[in-house]
Copies of this chain bind each other. A is one copy, B any other.
Amino acid sequence: MKAAPNSVTTGPIQGSRKVYAEPKSHPGLRVPFREIQLTDPNEPPVRVYDPSGPYTETDAPIDLAKGLPQVRREWLAKRGLETITPRAVKPEDNGNVAADKLVAACPAERSVFRAPAGTPITQYEFARAGIVTEEMAYVAFRENLAREAAMEGAAARHADGESFGASIPEFVTPEFVREEVARGRAIIPANVNHPELEPMAIGRNFLVKVNANIGNSAVTSGAAEEVEKLVWSIRWGADTVMDLSTGRNIHNIRSWIIRNSPVPIGTVPIYQALEKVDGDPLKLDWEVFKDTLIEQAEQGVDYFTIHAGVRLRHVPLTANRVTGIVSRGGSIMARWCLAGHRESFLYERFDEICDICRAYDVSFSLGDGLRPGSIADANDAAQFAELETLGELTKVAWDKGCQVMIEGPGHVPMHKIKENMDKQLRECGEAPFYTLGPLTTDIAPGYDHITSGIGAAMIGWFGTAMLCYVTPKEHLGLPNRDDVKTGVITYRIAAHAADLAKGHPAAKVRDDALSRARFDFRWEDQFNLSLDPDTARAFHDETLPKDAHKVAHFCSMCGPKFCSMQITQELRAEARAMGDNEKKALEAEAGMAEKSEEFLKGGGKLYVDAAE
């Protein structure tokens, strides 16, 4: 038997501390934030969204074998769920691994729940019934972030933006969350068997989210590594994590991951199903797949990628592609369909899949098995035919009471990105889009976090609700710890750039706080406000290592004589020192232009209301 995981990275991110706050409307909820303290007493602390869970508390009492605290236990207890005897674990669940290589399951004990027939239990069903769940209230408070502060703040903080038809509210209420979930425009992935979850929402009217992939492969890694990858990903800002394991011990590694995850966990059940039939796609059938869905739903997986849109009729559309089918799930299903010249069992059994997902509130992530794997194949007939099928399935899933999001590409040059987004919104009734990148060129393996970060920022701006990260190792190998961090930070940049451009009311607060710190030479504040304080500080220290330089009014780039920031500060001081007359003369020169602009911005009205 292999050793169980026993430690992960813990402790606060440099320069900040974990805080929990209660919404007034729901005093029992403890909603987590990260608060960055600033050195200037005139600057309020900046509160940021924090998916990192209890791991970033000071002295967090983490015991992986016991799992995280069960945030949702009491909420779930009131919902009429039935407690069931879980399906017995079979040897093939762990890839028939030899006893000496078996990873023990996480010993944390949890009851296993399921919805009785006819009892509404999914967030979608509650929302449709007009019920605001604890999850919705939690999410509303979490999404508001620093909006109170932003709304009380100076005019300079007012957001502008172009949201392409999204409806981002000034303030998120629990009722707003309910409405978004009810109309299928947002999901709260939250399996009833994942009580450790800190709820979060995915939807175009919420903050853009980021997913990180972890998982072992036939060649590498065990439970300890995977749990650490989970904790490491959320530390840097991953909002959900997909476990894409394809090696041995899949079932037991997953038990460690879910019991210790404060974020939704997604999987691609066909991977494990394939393992159970010795890796031969032709041996797959509905029974083994269904068995796998139930196995994973009982463990607490929050969303399933299901490639039900890869239909027999779509396969020939890929024949002349430069890179054929690049989705693993898509290629497995295409092979299955083609071999027997038969329709996909995922498509034909979609109703039954919905019934299983509904019973545990596992959200759908309808997989894009025919996504383009190269610029050449972007937006082609195969991709769009599948997207139309996904639109059809979205409606089926809603009718069955399930939550749904839609996966998107892939490799798409910049001028074809918006077409993707617009078609997805249209075909899928605004169900959340969840895209991998897209990569905007094929020529930079080793840097595909960047080729795809460009596309991710753009598609996030256009309306994508969650961005699946890409690491520097994409196309080349499995990411290590540094790659995971680089991927997450790159995607946090893309998501934040998208939030800014959409005009999210609170997004700019952090940019402005950092810019003021930069201008004031508050180096520590600049580091701590950044997405990665450790790297910012280390880079600064490479050329100006001394502590004295942390308060210096210049940096190594220009040295003291050429520092534009310093010159500007002196310049402001001079302007202040100038006599009023001189100053007025100067301002008069510029004033006409300024006033004229103000006039035009005010809508060109000659008279303004006294209230303004």
Contact = CB atoms under 8 A, between A and B. Distances in A.
A331 B174 CA distance: 48
Given A477-B539, A536-B476, A316 B590 contact: yes
A464 to B, nearest CB: 13
A184 to B, nearest CB: 26
Contacts of A279: 561-562
Nearest to A531: B444
A542 B479 CA distance: 10
A457 B439 CA distance: 12
A473 B555 CA distance: 11
**Which of A338, A527, A587 neighbours the largest number of chain B CB atoms within 10 Å of its CB?**
A338
B532 A446 contact: yes
Contact of A593 (B381, B490, B531, B542): B381
Nearest to A560: B218
B497 A441 contact: yes
Q: Quick one: which of A331, A445, A532, A575 has the most chain B CB within 10 A?
A: A445
Contacts of A557: 217, 473, 475-478
Interface stretch (A137-145, A353-361, A564-572): A564-572
B246 A562 contact: yes
A278 B218 CA distance: 65
Interface in A580-606: 582-583, 585-587, 589-591, 593-594, 597
Contacts of A274: 561-562
A531 to B, nearest CB: 5
A555 B500 contact: no
A330 B564 contact: yes
Interface string A509-537: 01110111011000000110111100110
B515 A375 contact: yes
Interface string A447-459: 1011101100110
A474 to B, nearest CB: 8
Contacts of A516: 322-323
B589 A514 contact: no
A429 interface: no
Chain copies in complex: 2
A568 B331 contact: yes
Nearest to A159: B413
Given A316-B590, A497-B414, A532 B447 contact: yes
Contact of A322 (B339, B490, B515): B515
A27 interface: no
Contact of A574 (B160, B220, B339): B339
B539 A476 contact: yes
13 contacts: A220-B543, A315-B590, A322-B519, A323-B515, A332-B564, A374-B512, A374-B518, A440-B497, A445-B526, A453-B454, A454-B454, A454-B458, A454-B493
Closest 3 CB pairs of A and B: A374-B515, A324-B568, A218-B559
Given A445-B530, A477-B555, 11 more contacts: A161-B413, A220-B543, A322-B515, A323-B519, A325-B568, A373-B518, A373-B519, A375-B500, A414-B461, A443-B493, A477-B544
